Structure 1
Amino acid sequence: MRQDLHFRLERISAWCGFVLLLGFAVAFSVGHLITPMDPTKNAQGVVEFLTDNQTGILACAAIMVLVVPFEYPFVVLTSMQMRRIEGGWGLLSMVQLTTGVVAPIGFFFPIAILAAAAYRPESHSPDVLYAMSDIYWLMLVGNACIFVLQVWSIGYAALVDDRAKPVFPRWFGYLNLVLGVLLIPGAFVFLTKTGPFAWNGLLANMLPTLVYFIWKIATPIVLLRAVKSEEEEAAAKAAEPSALAST
């Protein structure tokens, strides 16, 4: 493959991060799902929510189906840049890749379950819809902690990079480590319905969501800069034979 095409594809992959961010924001806004439902809401309240927001929830699911695949080139590019740090495919880049390719499932499966509940709420009992709503919120928030190793692998790679011009800036390494820590409380949503560890709580939902959106803005920018530095390195290597020949 021509180098210019290679780097063009890498830049497109980095821009996929912005596509994901915009798509998620639109999808959850349309579905009225940005603000988590109160875990103590009764079955009738859940039925009313699904009925009142049926169109929005189904549209949210459709948007997610279209947007989520953009996660794959974004994840692959991240590992390719980490590969530069490790000098080839290594533990950190492979951990990021294997955990990252699972990430879309963590978004789509929960919304598919909620969409199934909203698809025809009149055909199911309130108890069934209540359970499906619980599955959605528990999976969406609770499963986030699965990706701790993904962001920690990125963060650690950024911090151990001893190149003269690092692939990732050090602040990005710390951002990933902080996000990993903030994802851990999600595991406790299965144990409580109120407080900071509930699925609408400060520690399990609000702070991780805020930092995740910051990460989703920062990562494409960092990747675009990394691709630029990779392109400059390739140009410098290509110029070396010419410089040697002229001497």
Structure 2
Amino acid sequence: MRKDLYFRWERFSAWCGFVLLVGMLVAFAVGGIIPPMSPTESPENIVTFLHDHRTGILTCVALMVLLVPFEYPYVIVTSLQLRRVEGGWGLLSMTQLTTGVVAPLGFFFPLAILAAAAYRPEIHSADVLSAMTDTFWLMFVGNACIFVLQVWSIGYASFVDHRAKPIFPRWYGWLSVALGVVLIPGAFVYLNQSGPLAWNGVLAYSVPSFAYFVWKIATPIVLLRAVKQEEAELAESASEPQLADI
């Protein structure tokens, strides 16, 4: 592949991060699922919610199905830049790649369960719909902590990269470490129905959501700069033999 085309694809992959962020915000707003409902919501209110938001929820899931594929080039270009730090495929780049590949499923599978509840709510009892809605929120919020290693692998790469201009800046490394830390409380939504560790709580939902939003804006910016740096380094190395001949 021509190098100009290769870097064009890398830039496109980095821009996929912005596409995902904007698309997710639109999809969740259309679905009416932000902010989350209370874990102590009555079955009757849950049934009413599913009836009232049926079209929005199904539209949200359809949009997410269209958006999910954009996650893969975004994850791959991140690992390609991590590979530059390691000098080849290594633990950091492969950890980020494997966990990143799983990441879209963490969104889609819970949403598919919620869509199944909203698809024909009239044929299910309130207890069944409540159980399906609980499953959605428990998976959607609780499974976020699975991706701690993904963001920590990126953060660690910024600390071990000792070049004059690190591929992943130090500030971004600390941001990634912080995001990993605030994702951990999500594991405790399975044990709490109220308070900061419930699925709508400050520690399990609000703080991680804000941190993820900031990180999701910062990551494509960092990747675009990294691709530009890689392209400049390649151009510089290509010109060195010509200078030597002169």
Residue 164 of structure 1, CA deviation: 1.7
Secondary structure of the corresponding residue to residue 186 of structure 1: helix
User: Deviation per CA, 1:101-128, whole angstroms, max 9, x where unpaired?
Assistant: 0000000000000000000100101110
Q: Give 2:64's aligned residue.
A: 64
User: Deviation per CA, 1:33-73, whole angstroms, max 9, x where unpaired?
Assistant: 11011000011110000000000000000000000110000
Amino acid at match of 1:14: A
Aligned Cα root-mean-square deviation (Å): 0.4
Amino acid at match of 1:234: L
Q: Give 1:141's aligned residue.
A: 141
The alignment's TM-score, normalised by the length of structure 1, stands at: 0.99
Distance in 1, Cα, partners of 2:68 & 2:23: 8
Q: Give 1:168's aligned residue.
A: 168
Distance in 1, Cα, partners of 2:105 & 2:202: 24
In the alignment of these two chains, the number of paired residues is 246
User: Deviation per CA, 1:205-231, whole angstroms, max 9, x where unpaired?
Assistant: 000000101011000000000000000
Distance in 1, Cα, partners of 2:140 & 2:236: 45
Alignment of 1:15-94 (within 5 A): 15-94=15-94
Secondary structure of the corresponding residue to residue 101 of structure 1: helix
Runs of 4+ in 1 over 4 A off after TM superposition: none
Amino acid at match of 1:209: S
The alignment's TM-score, normalised by the length of structure 2, stands at: 0.99
Distance in 2, Cα, partners of 1:146 & 1:241: 47
Alignment of 1:199-218 (within 5 A): 199-218=199-218
Distance in 2, Cα, partners of 1:30 & 1:59: 7
Alignment of 1:216-227 (within 5 A): 216-227=216-227
Distance in 2, Cα, partners of 1:44 & 1:242: 76
Distance in 2, Cα, partners of 1:93 & 1:162: 17
Structure 1: any 5+ residue segments left out of the alignment?
none
